[in-house]
Amino acid sequence: SEAAGDRAVYAPWCPACQNLQPEWEKFAEWGEDLEVNIAKVDVTEQPGLSGRFIITALPTIYHCKDGEFRRYQGARTKTDFINFISDQEWKSIEPVSSWFGPSSFLMSSMSALFQLSMWIRHCHGYLTENVGIPAWGSYAVFALATLFSGLILGLMMVFLADCICPSKRHRPPQYPHSRKLAPESAQLLKKLDEEQEADEEDISDDETEGKEVSNRNSSPNTVRQRPVNPAATMDKS
């Protein structure tokens, strides 16, 4: 298993941290006997830890074992620290959730934001003290940089969104109600075909009737108009 360790997060300007320092150094002398790594971290030199561990008060003490972090909130004396490790009192403390653990993505992002804020602070100090730019000029520089970076990020997001989900003008037309209307349209087409066939049958019946009528009318006319042979009449006479 991973070796246990105690970490104290402090700041040099903190009075409570200064009061804890003698007891913490005495406790550190017992590290080898307790088989625990004891250390302290200055947040002024490591600002990312303030976001990674959500430091809201100084000093803050964490106990770490097997990748699990527990916050120590007991008395701050050497004896209490030793009993906390030797009597395994840390098992009675609920570990920090994996969502808010120092190695999680959320806390890593918070650490990056804290580091960015400290970098901006250093840049502001450099521009105002070393370069000689007034404070409002430094603020204007950061405002323009923020607008420019936001514009670049916005264009990148629009480009990615257009690549992942292309706009409707590039898509073929879709008819969401086509499936629902398909049976109705099929019935309508079927009715139209039946009506068309019925009309064709009526037209064919009318044509046949017209032909019969014309044949009847034409038969007597043909008899009436049949030419008479003059030779035959003369023989009879």
Q: What are the residue numbers of the active site?
A: 14, 17
**Do residues 88 and 35 touch, judged by C-beta distance below 8 A?**
no
Q: How far apart are CA 100 and CA 88, in angstroms?
A: 23
Distance separating alpha carbons of residues 36 and 86, to the nearest angstrom: 10
User: What is the amino acid identity at position 182?
Assistant: A
Nearest-angstrom CA–CA distance, 26 and 119: 35
Q: Which residue has the tokens 């806390």?
A: 107
Cβ 38 vs Cβ 3: under 8 Å: no
Report how far residue 195's alpha carbon sits from residue 201's, in angstroms, rounded to the nearest whole number: 10
Residue with tokens 């971290």: 41
**Residue 85: Cβ within 10 Å count:** 21
Q: Are the beta carbons of 26 and 20 closer than 8 angstroms?
A: no
Half-sphere exposure of 66 (CA within 13 A, CB side): 4
The runs of H, that is alpha helices, within the chain are 15-28, 31-34, 48-52, 78-86, 105-125, 135-164, 178-224, 230-236
Inter-axis angle of helices 78-86 and 15-28, nearest 10 = 50
